[in-house]
Structure 1
C-alpha cells in the first residue's frame, strides 16, 4: 500500500548442533521480557518458548543441523522462524503412546496462531506466528482475540 510502512524489530541467533535447547529458550525469553510480554502476556510467552524449544529440537534432532533462530516482531505478530539444512518438511503426526517424541509439530500447531514451512535451496524454514499482545486487562491477561 502506498504511503504505509511496517514497523518491525528483529533478533537472530545461531544455535550450533551441540548447543542446548535451553540456550534458545533463555535467549528468546530475554527478548520477550525486554518487550514487556512477561507481564502483559505470560501465556503467550510460554507458548512462544514451547514453540522455540520444539523447532530448535527438530532442527538438531531430525535435520542434524545447526538452527538459525530468528524472531521478528511487527505491529501484528511475533514471527518465530527456525532454519535448518534439511529439505525434509515437518508434518504434524499423532504421537505414538509408547514413544517419547514425535509430537513437536502438533504442539507448535496447538500453541501458535499460525505456522508454515518454506523450502529453500539450502534447507527449510519453519515459522510460527503469535499475535502481539496489544493491551492487558486488569488481571494481566492479554486482551483481544483469544488464542486456541
Structure 2
C-alpha cells in the first residue's frame, strides 16, 4: 500500500555455544509477557517457546556455533529468527522411533504459521512466523505454505 507504514518492535540476543537453551526461552518469554501474549495467547506463547528451543538447539548442536536470536513483532506476526554459522539448510525429516532427536524441524513446521530458511553471509537464518493474537486472518488471506 502506497503511503502506509509498518509499525514493528524487535529484540535481539546472542547465545554463545556454551549457553543453555533455557536462557533463550526465558528471554523470549519476558518479551512475550511484556507484549501481553502470555494472557491473550498462551498456546501461541508455548509454540513460540518450543520453536525458540528447537532453533537455538539446532544452531548449537548441528551448526556448532553461537545462535543470534531475533524476535520482531509487527501488527500481523511475531517473527522469530535464528542465525548460525552453518550454510546447511534444515529439512524436516522423519526420525526413527528409537531415535532421541531429529524431530526439531517437524515440530517447528507444526507449531509456526509459516517458516523458512535461507543462506546468508557466514551461515544461514531460519525464521518462523506466528500470527499475532489480534491479527485474525481475513478471508482469502491464508498463511503462505511452509518452506
Please confirm whether the aligned pair reaches a TM-score higher than 0.5, indicating the same fold: yes
After TM superposition, the runs of 4+ consecutive aligned structure 1 residues lying more than 6 A away are none
RMSD: 1.3
User: Which runs of 5 or more structure 2 residues have no equivalent in the other structure?
Assistant: 138-142
Distance across 2 between alignment mates of 1:131 and 1:29: 16
Using structure 1 for the length normalisation, give the TM-score.
0.91
Aligned position for 2:51: 51
Q: Deviations over 1:25-82 (max 9, x none)?
A: 0000000000000000000000000000000000000000000000000011000000
Partner SS, residue 70 of structure 1: strand
Using structure 2 for the length normalisation, give the TM-score.
0.91
Aligned position for 1:119: 119
Aligned position for 1:24: 24
Partner SS, residue 29 of structure 1: helix
Q: Deviations over 1:1-26 (max 9, x none)?
A: 32100000000000000000000000
Partner SS, residue 43 of structure 1: helix
Alignment map for 1:63-82 (pairs within 5 Å): 63-82=63-82
Aligned position for 2:109: 109
**Residue 112 (structure 1) shift:** 0.2
Distance across 2 between alignment mates of 1:80 and 1:130: 8
**Residue 121 (structure 1) shift:** 1.8
Aligned pair count reads 138
**Residue 118 (structure 1) shift:** 1.1
Distance across 2 between alignment mates of 1:10 and 1:81: 11
Distance across 2 between alignment mates of 1:132 and 1:29: 15
Are 1:83 and 2:83 counterparts? yes
Distance across 1 between alignment mates of 2:42 and 2:109: 19
Partner SS, residue 69 of structure 2: strand
